[in-house]
Structure 1
Amino acid sequence: MAASEDNAVQRLRQAAIARSTRPFLARGARVKRCAACQLALTACICEQRPEVHAEVSFCLLMHSLEPLKPTNTGRLIAECLPDTQAFVWARTEVDPALLALLADERYQPFVVFPGEYALASQQVCRELPKDSARRPLLIILDATWTQARKMFRKSPYLSDLPVLSLETAQLSRYRLRRSQREEHLCTVEVAAACLVLAGEELAAAQLNEYFELFSDAYLRAIRLRTSEE
């Protein structure tokens, strides 16, 4: 199925480009990229993107630069799971649409973050409720680890929400950016782990397969570009 350009992260990307007074120059900025999957045109994977269905929803709270980065994996969630929303984080202001989403009675929001960072007043959950009438809304902070900790501390509108603390022995398979610690999962890996926790094994497998496809295609395009230079 061809990937849709109309997803929550793509809209943030287009809005950021429209506001910018000068172009954001990521690594490989001269590469001609697919507008949807952000891979080099020679490595486009749009036709192989799955449409994933699950009984949980995701909300990406993104550092301002993340929607612009070709290596960002949060957008893989938005591309595959239609019920994904995304917002740019800012310390001094909050998007009213985000506050409205958190107050929506159809959802039960959880902040996906290590429980050791939760406030004393916050409930820390190791699993999702199985019998809730409200759809779980899993909020993932899409940023570097240092940025994510700051976002978690400085977002008072998250402080009353329960924290979903993942316990996984999985090491990150992300190969496109360096992390100081191997146990730090990238954004799409966090989403896949959440899906497993929710009993959505098929959805998790589909998302993981797309992530592997994305990583392989990105690295293959880099090797091809390097060999031509």
Structure 2
Amino acid sequence: MTPVPPAPHALPHAVSLLRAARLARSSKPFLARGGPRGERCAGCRLIPSHCLCALRPAVAVRAGVCLVMADIEPLKPSNTGWLIADVVADTFAFGWARTGVDPALLALLADPQWQPYLVFPGEFVAQERVVTALLPAEALGGAPARRPLFVLLDATWPEARKMFRKSPYLDKLPVLSLQSEQLSRYRLRRSQRDAHFCTSEVGALCLELAGDTQAAQTLEAYLDVFTNHYLRAKQQLPVDAGDAAHLRLQALASL
């Protein structure tokens, strides 16, 4: 597949840079399963006729997101961690490996401006580590209160469980167990359990918990529009820019 340069406003972010680094290490081209074999936009990973770059929202967000990504996750056109990086300016992305950890990830987790939370289902964690709400904000020596940093394991569910067990540098982090009755609306890659959200949905729930309500709603709407573009490209159908998903994203962008 031939990448098309992104639109000027769709500058590379942490996930796109991680994707580029992962591609540079590949010994053969990565071919997305079931995807079109033509050109793809480097800014949104969609084919040019269904490009999403012009709809990339800009919204103020206080929280940050740290994506720890399974090996080929940044390469998948259906990956939604990319959407979080589009919306949340302070998104960081690191590849996961069983045998080592990026020193930059350790430095981020130790940065005093952040209060990191490892987001994972509480049923699989020792209960003394589990929190269901953000910890009280505490100023450090007169400095501003620490900002929440949500650490998401961006992987399939079996991969995420493995990453959780084999990442000792995450063991000291509080585990944020999200409580939501919302069923997943993600239609690109389905979990066997409806309660398992895609990465972007988890990110939106975290932003809502942190009080970044507009950003949470914008990320939800952006996921719906991305899904629409992705599936219509796959089905060789034109995009309907006037449908409910697009109108909702436009309304949120105008706030």
Q: TM-score range by the shorter chain?
A: over 0.9
Q: How many residue pairs were aligned?
A: 224
- Aligned match for 2:173, one of 145, 161, 173: 161
- Aligned match for 1:175, one of 187, 194, 200: 187
Runs of 5+ in structure 2 lacking a partner?
Answer: 1-6, 139-144, 238-255
Question: How far does the alpha carbon of each residue in 1:186-220 deviate from its partner, in whole angstroms, 9 at most, with x for none?
Answer: 00000001111112211111111111100000011
- Aligned match for 1:6, one of 7, 12, 21: 12
Deviation at 1:61, TM superposition (A): 0.3
Q: Verify the 8 A CA contact 1:195 1:201 in the aligned structure 2.
A: yes
SS at match of 1:146: helix
Q: Verify the 8 A CA contact 1:73 1:188 in the aligned structure 2.
A: yes
Tell me what 1:50 maps to: 57
Give 1:221's aligned amino acid: A
2:116 corresponds to 1:104: no
Q: Verify the 8 A CA contact 1:62 1:87 in the aligned structure 2.
A: yes
2:58 corresponds to 1:62: no
Tell me what 2:201 maps to: 189
2:93 corresponds to 1:86: yes
Runs of 5+ in structure 1 lacking a partner?
Answer: none
Deviation at 1:54, TM superposition (A): 1.6
RMSD of the alignment, in Å? 1.5
Moved over 2 A (4+): 1-5, 129-132
2:128 corresponds to 1:116: no
Q: Verify the 8 A CA contact 1:57 1:83 in the aligned structure 2.
A: yes
SS at match of 1:12: helix
TM-score (norm 2): 0.84
TM-score (norm 1): 0.94
Q: Percent identity at matched positions?
A: 56
2-structure distance, mates of 1:2, 1:76 = 17
Q: Verify the 8 A CA contact 2:10 2:56 in the aligned structure 1.
A: no
2-structure distance, mates of 1:118, 1:187 = 19
Deviation at 1:29, TM superposition (A): 5.0
Q: Verify the 8 A CA contact 1:5 1:35 in the aligned structure 2.
A: no
SS at match of 2:101: coil
